[in-house]
């Protein structure tokens, strides 16, 4: 993503067409070191000419539940005006690209293993107040929204995540724990994993291309 801030992309990309959302966010102040908004702003958004009104971040001055409700309302309004597309097989928004990371436990967005929010099918955005890793309060897209995207990219680096990558990608035993990352299965879209060699080190039938 950082390359987009450099030539030629910073001049050739039509930034006016970009609309930015967060698949999950920590409910902290936007200038807090834990804020995904701050990470994105410092890393790319402040360095390219994206239209400020096209950047949709959460309200950081309310509770996690209120922030999730408000965020879902914003997305619903954009769906109504067709600024955000709608899936043709559900009422979910259909984002062009959802970019995710994955934790060593196999979590994606703020969907953690064995958490009740994995079963959420009605809401587009939900919240948690008991995240296994700090900070505890977060909002997150639900699986139906993630799986309605046209493209989902999961980016994973580091040996500490190699076992989770193996469990998420390879055909494993039926009684293997179902990691959230394994549940990312776009209904009519594409899923692409981007892995470095340490993260991919436990995959079956591994081949590298330089």
In this predicted structure, the answer to whether residue 165 has a pLDDT above a threshold of 90 is yes
Predicted local distance difference test score (pLDDT) of residue 207:
64
122 pLDDT tier (thresholds 50, 70, 90): very high
What does the pLDDT average to over 149-157?
A: 98
On whether the CB atoms of residues 57 and 22 are closer than 8 A, the answer is yes
Distance CA 167, CA 199 (A): 12
Domains of the chain: 2-195 (3.40.50.1360)
> What is the per-residue burial (b if ≥16 Cβ within 10 Å, else e) of 48-85?
eebeeeebebbbbeeebeebbbebbebbeebbeeeebb
Read off the pLDDT of residues 91-118 as tens digits, 9 standing for 90 and up: 899 999 999 999 999 999 999 999 999 9
In this predicted structure, the answer to whether residue 210 has a pLDDT above a threshold of 80 is no
Helix (H, G, I), strand (E, B) or coil at 99: strand
In this predicted structure, the answer to whether residue 188 has a pLDDT above a threshold of 90 is yes
In this predicted structure, the answer to whether residue 157 has a pLDDT above a threshold of 90 is yes
On whether the CB atoms of residues 41 and 56 are closer than 8 A, the answer is no
191 pLDDT tier (thresholds 50, 70, 90): very high
Closest CA to 105 of 153, 156, 32, 71: 156
Predicted local distance difference test score (pLDDT) of residue 73:
97
203 pLDDT tier (thresholds 50, 70, 90): very high
């Amino acid at each position: 993503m950082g390359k987009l801030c450099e030539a030629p992309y910073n001049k050739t990309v039509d930034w006016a067409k970009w609309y930015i959302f967060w698949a999950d966010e920590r409910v902290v102040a936007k200038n807090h070191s834990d804020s995904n908004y701050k990470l994105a702003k410092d890393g790319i958004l402040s360095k390219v000419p994206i239209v400020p009104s096209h950047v949709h971040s959460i309200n950081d001055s309310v509770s996690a539940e209120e922030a999730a409700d408000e965020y879902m309302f914003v997305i619903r309004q954009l769906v109504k005006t067709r600024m955000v597309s709608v899936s043709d097989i559900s009422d979910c928004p259909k984002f062009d690209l959802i970019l995710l990371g994955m934790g060593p436990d196999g979590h994606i967005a703020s969907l953690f293993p064995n958490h009740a929010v994995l079963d959420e099918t009605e809401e587009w955005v939900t919240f948690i107040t008991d995240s296994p890793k700090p900070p505890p309060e977060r909002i997150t897209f639900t699986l139906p929204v993630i799986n309605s995207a046209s493209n989902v990219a999961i980016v994973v680096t580091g040996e500490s995540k190699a076992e989770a990558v193996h469990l998420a990608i390879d055909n494993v035993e039926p009684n293997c724990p179902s990691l959230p990352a394994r549940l990312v299965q776009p209904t009519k879209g594409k899923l692409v994993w981007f892995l470095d060699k340490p993260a991919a080190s436990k995959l079956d039938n591994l081949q590298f291309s330089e």
